[in-house]
Structure 1
Amino acid sequence: MDNQQKNKNVILIGAGVMSATLGAMLKELAPSWNIKVFEKLEKAGAESSNEWNNAGTGHAALCELNYTPEQADGSIDIKKASSINEQFQLSRQFWSFLVNHKRIANPQDFIMSIPHMSLVQGEDNVRFLNNRFEALSKSPLFKGMEYSADLEKLKEWIPLIMEGRTSTEAMAATKIDTGTDVNFGALTEMLFTHLEEQQVEMNYNHAVKDIKRSSDSTWEVKVQDLENNKIEYHNADFVFIGGGGGSLPLLQKTGIPESKHIGGFPVSGLFLVCNDPEIVEQHHAKVYGKAKVGAPPMSVPHLDTRFIDGKKSLLFGPFAGFSPKFLKTGSNMDLLGSVKPNNVFTMLAAGAKEMSLTKYLVQQVLLSNEKRVEELREFIPTAKLADWDVVVAGQRVQVIKDTDKGKGTLQFGTEIVTSRDGSVAALLGASPGASTAVHAMLEIFQRCFPDHVGEWEPKIKEMIPSYGISLAENPELLQEIHTSTAKALQLDEKSPIGI
């Protein structure tokens, strides 16, 4: 039996949306491979993928201003925004494949249409937003976006935000109706239910304690059965570490060279949530503002309509905080335990460079609920403390590594780390994260299974018709995919490109 035909043993660590996506794709591409999943919690999607532990935004760069930086000459760089939009289109296509082929059902249980908006105040910010709108409008990926600095139009778009507003400061917003709210917790549970039906072995209440290379070049994974307090050993040809904030310590245990000189900085989060139907019904959009000076990009303030368990709510935040835990259910020793001889100088360099972030986090930690509602009033002038509750969101571990920008550079995106031989892959970092999970898995296929990608390509293209094609350069295909995925996922079918 040659390598092309060998049935591999695959271990997925963490039952979040990343492992669920990888497992679902592998079962389509290599159905005979043996897959085991180990999750320390009692069920799937209970940590970072849980619907209350993330913003639930289908990140397509439609409203997130940090993806379109302003250059020194005043021009707007849309390369990152375009890339993230294209990546989200891959996820829409794969989810549609799963629905159309009855791998999962009822897409409205995990995805809903919702307008995505950007909102700014002040003359400089209004100028920036207008320039951003003009730059994005030249790309078919963002056609259908509207811009207005007219207060009457804004009252029509965002009545709750405009009600009771007395400031005479200039305001402007962009709006695009093809945005989405995604319940990644529900999606994760659906995917793992499907995988169990495909004989994927699910092991809940099982914590991975160590990962070591065996003499036969496979990986030995040491696992503790938390219910019976037993130690088990499992071997795999390929290990995927998709444990959210817990991925870095597990990656370090592998000892692979690629795990060196990488650190992590945990940031916790809080949201304000409103469930009062009278207030909730006055707002129907995800509205993103601009991050404050010194604030990390994942702390961009936004007021979101959310659909969770069939109920509509409003969330505002996030408010950043600090905890040394790498997971919400983690240990206070996580941060200290992640500091190794090979990354200590990387971590120290980051600490010296990120004083503004440290100051921002201290300020955020000290905020009272009254102060949080004062920040909310920048979005909703009439907001009352009694109408809003605090929800503790998930932990995010920002990657720190040495780059061409210097030692100890804080990364604010999603990072994929793979061993040279492709036998280990780990997913680190935060936003856009879950929204671009399919793109991340395609990258892992290229790095870890190069001998298989060629034979898999026809199936990949069946699942993801735009695979290997730039939708920005093929507006007709973009139109076709937008229409087909909107139909499959039961989304608003308004065309994003007007052709």
Structure 2
Amino acid sequence: MSNRQTSTDVILIGAGVMSATLGALLKELAPEWEIKVFEKLANAGEESSNEWNNAGTGHAALCELNYTSEKSDGSVDVSKAIKINEQFQLSKQFWSYLVNKNVIQNPQDFIMPIPHMSLVQGEKDVAFLKKRFEALSKNPLFQGMEFSTDPEKLKKWMPLIMEGRTSHEPMAATKIESGTDVNFGALTRILFEHLKSKHVQIHYKHSVENIKRANDGLWELKVRNVDSGVVEHHAAKFVFIGGGGGSLPLLQKTGIPESKRIGGFPVSGLFMVCKNPEVIEKHHAKVYGKAKVGAPPMSVPHLDTRYINGEKTLLFGPFAGFSPKFLKTGSYFDLIGSVKPNNVLTMLAAGIKEMALTKYLIQQVMLSNEKRMEELREFIPNAKSEDWDIIVAGQRVQVIKDTETGGKGTLQFGTEVVSAADGSIAALLGASPGASTAVHVMLEVLEKCFPEQMHVWEAKIKEMVPSYGISLAGKPELFQQIDASTSETLGLCKKKLVYS
């Protein structure tokens, strides 16, 4: 055991896409700052950011129906969709900046253009999708979106899904060409290679076991070398906890008031992956349906063309499940260990409120392979069991907190930054849209934690992210200019397919 303590400017916990993004931003804004990274696994991007542990969708609300809701008057609220789209635009702008700086040499290593579609069945959902299309298509961020109920057009858009379909139930779909498939694992690894070249100290197989505030105001971390068992002590002026599902237990160890009365609810996931090249080639889109009643938003079924390790593949899911682990590589005691005197009532309230969700997750865990195939056949009527395998995806920990609107023990679906009042420490909790909005979220961390530096940094931030502080939804000409530039830089431009 070592009692030696070293001090630094910034410590990032977790080598995922969030820490990678924050590190890359800070190295542009304050290149002189010393940064250390601690990751308990052997490589970067191995948990939630890994390409097999998430859907790989560039979440811009182009096809995800859970980002638009029907109001009591029958109209569709698209405000959340617009907000998420604007946030994804920030990510594309920062990635484009890194391409132009030659930090990212080949953007196709992590991002590819792919049409995004929404698909619904039944008169009620068809009517909803049409209203959603009409509301979104008025906005410049969703320009080029098409809507159709014509079976012949749907066959051209999604031949694999329409092949062998015998139901006469009305169907409708929207389609937009500007969607993306994003390999967040590859992006994370690229960014950490960049940080390494900028002399950031990256310590893999190092697990942070405790965080506490020292008398001098620094944060002291107890870090264990996973291989040798040697314990080190490190101190920093600023700490970011970006450990995915592992962030909540570390945040609780800080003891900051903002960490109180917050709980976490872990949800696991499975994907079906196609192993038949002929089937894979028949589909070229990300097609999102509607979540079943009682299902959490992250369980919206979707059939995705993916690009992983340079190969085109096809995934369907996710199938939700329950595990008490907060990380795929975590402990079965994670959930019970996160229950503290200050959050036990919040957690109990959530348990009572979310009985329907608990029942749904239990049903999902009990699904047989044939039952999963039945759900797949709702998308692909001719799907054959021998063409599909099951892979285990990552763990997601949804935030539970007391809110004014939802009351005690409200389950939150989204991404949330929790920071100390003095900005000396921050943690990222939650899940989707997560990685897609990493740049927006990390800029929020900078705003919360470095308010005095922000006026000095603002010009540089706007160089990296031109629409920072601007709502692109209200600036159609600026959006078109920025979108054309980022699409060209990221290699997302392609000839539009014309359908009669």
**1:472-487 matches, cutoff 5 A:** 472-487=473-488
Q: Secondary structure at the match of 2:76?
A: coil
Corresponding position of 2:165: 165
Give the Cα separation in 2 of the matches to 1:493 and 1:132.
Answer: 26
Corresponding position of 1:349: 349
Matched, 1:150 2:150: yes
Q: Deviations over 1:322-345 (max 9, x none)?
A: 100000000000000000000000
- Quick check: 2:23–2:195 contact (8 Å CA) kept in 1? yes
Q: Which runs of 4+ in 1 moved over 6 A?
A: none
**1:261-272 matches, cutoff 5 A:** 261-272=261-272
Q: Deviations over 1:139-193 (max 9, x none)?
A: 1111110000000000000000000000000000000000000000000000000
Count of matched residue positions in the alignment of Structure 1 and Structure 2 = 489
**1:309-348 matches, cutoff 5 A:** 309-348=309-348
**1:253-268 matches, cutoff 5 A:** 253-268=253-268
Q: Secondary structure at the match of 1:237?
A: strand
Q: Deviations over 1:349-405 (max 9, x none)?
A: 000000110110010000011110100000000001110000100000000000012
Offset of residue 494 of structure 1: 6.7
Corresponding position of 2:363: 363
Offset of residue 59 of structure 1: 0.1
Give the Cα separation in 2 of the matches to 1:310 and 1:43.
Answer: 20
TM-score, normalisation: structure 1? 0.97
Offset of residue 492 of structure 1: 2.4
Corresponding position of 1:406: 407
Corresponding position of 1:308: 308
Give the Cα separation in 2 of the matches to 1:398 and 1:52.
Answer: 20
Give the Cα separation in 2 of the matches to 1:97 and 1:373.
Answer: 43
AA at the equivalent of 2:318: P
Q: Secondary structure at the match of 1:42?
A: coil
Q: Deviations over 1:276-333 (max 9, x none)?
A: 1100010000000000000000000000000001111110000001100000000000
Give the Cα separation in 2 of the matches to 1:492 and 1:390.
Answer: 33
- Quick check: 2:274–2:388 contact (8 Å CA) kept in 1? yes
Q: Deviations over 1:438-466 (max 9, x none)?
A: 00011111110000000001100100011
Corresponding position of 2:492: 491
Q: Quick one: percent identity of the two aligned structures?
A: 74
- Quick check: 1:275–1:312 contact (8 Å CA) kept in 2? no
Corresponding position of 2:420: 419
Give the Cα separation in 2 of the matches to 1:227 and 1:98.
Answer: 34
Corresponding position of 1:233: 233
- Quick check: 1:486–1:493 contact (8 Å CA) kept in 2? no
Corresponding position of 2:449: 448
- Quick check: 2:270–2:391 contact (8 Å CA) kept in 1? yes
Give the Cα separation in 2 of the matches to 1:207 and 1:492.
Answer: 42
Give the Cα separation in 2 of the matches to 1:93 and 1:65.
Answer: 25
**1:259-298 matches, cutoff 5 A:** 259-298=259-298
Q: Deviations over 1:70-93 (max 9, x none)?
A: 001110000000000000000000
**1:134-213 matches, cutoff 5 A:** 134-213=134-213
Corresponding position of 2:464: 463
Give the Cα separation in 2 of the matches to 1:264 and 1:117.
Answer: 31
AA at the equivalent of 2:446: F
Deviates more, 1:181-190 or 1:99-108: 99-108
Give the Cα separation in 2 of the matches to 1:92 and 1:275.
Answer: 31
Give the Cα separation in 2 of the matches to 1:8 and 1:204.
Answer: 17
Offset of residue 487 of structure 1: 1.1
- Quick check: 1:177–1:494 contact (8 Å CA) kept in 2? no
Give the Cα separation in 2 of the matches to 1:366 and 1:275.
Answer: 24
Corresponding position of 1:107: 107
Q: Deviations over 1:238-268 (max 9, x none)?
A: 0000000000000000000000000000000
Q: Secondary structure at the match of 2:233?
A: strand
Q: Secondary structure at the match of 1:131?
A: helix
- Quick check: 1:274–1:389 contact (8 Å CA) kept in 2? yes
Give the Cα separation in 2 of the matches to 1:76 and 1:87.
Answer: 20
AA at the equivalent of 2:388: W
AA at the equivalent of 2:484: T
Corresponding position of 1:4: none
Offset of residue 227 of structure 1: 1.7
AA at the equivalent of 1:116: H
- Quick check: 2:423–2:448 contact (8 Å CA) kept in 1? yes
Offset of residue 469 of structure 1: 1.0
Offset of residue 103 of structure 1: 1.3
CA 1:260–1:315: 2 relative to 1, 3 Å:
same
Q: Deviations over 1:97-144 (max 9, x none)?
A: 001001121110100000000000000000000000000011111111
CA 1:442–1:318: 2 relative to 1, 3 Å:
same
- Quick check: 1:210–1:222 contact (8 Å CA) kept in 2? yes
Give the Cα separation in 2 of the matches to 1:493 and 1:26.
Answer: 33
Give the Cα separation in 1 of the matches to 2:478 and 2:390.
Answer: 43
Matched, 1:86 2:86: yes
Give the Cα separation in 1 of the matches to 2:189 and 2:136.
Answer: 35
Q: Secondary structure at the match of 2:456?
A: helix
Give the Cα separation in 2 of the matches to 1:478 and 1:298.
Answer: 29
Corresponding position of 2:26: 26
Give the Cα separation in 2 of the matches to 1:8 and 1:338.
Answer: 29
Corresponding position of 1:429: 430
Offset of residue 493 of structure 1: 5.1
- Quick check: 2:8–2:36 contact (8 Å CA) kept in 1? no
Where structure 1 has 5 or more consecutive residues not aligned to the other structure, the ranges are: 1-6
Corresponding position of 1:439: 440
Where structure 2 has 5 or more consecutive residues not aligned to the other structure, the ranges are: 1-6
Matched, 1:77 2:77: yes
Offset of residue 275 of structure 1: 2.6
Alignment RMSD, CA only?
A: 0.9
Give the Cα separation in 1 of the matches to 2:411 and 2:495.
Answer: 38
Give the Cα separation in 2 of the matches to 1:275 and 1:29.
Answer: 45
- Quick check: 1:53–1:392 contact (8 Å CA) kept in 2? yes
Offset of residue 8 of structure 1: 6.5
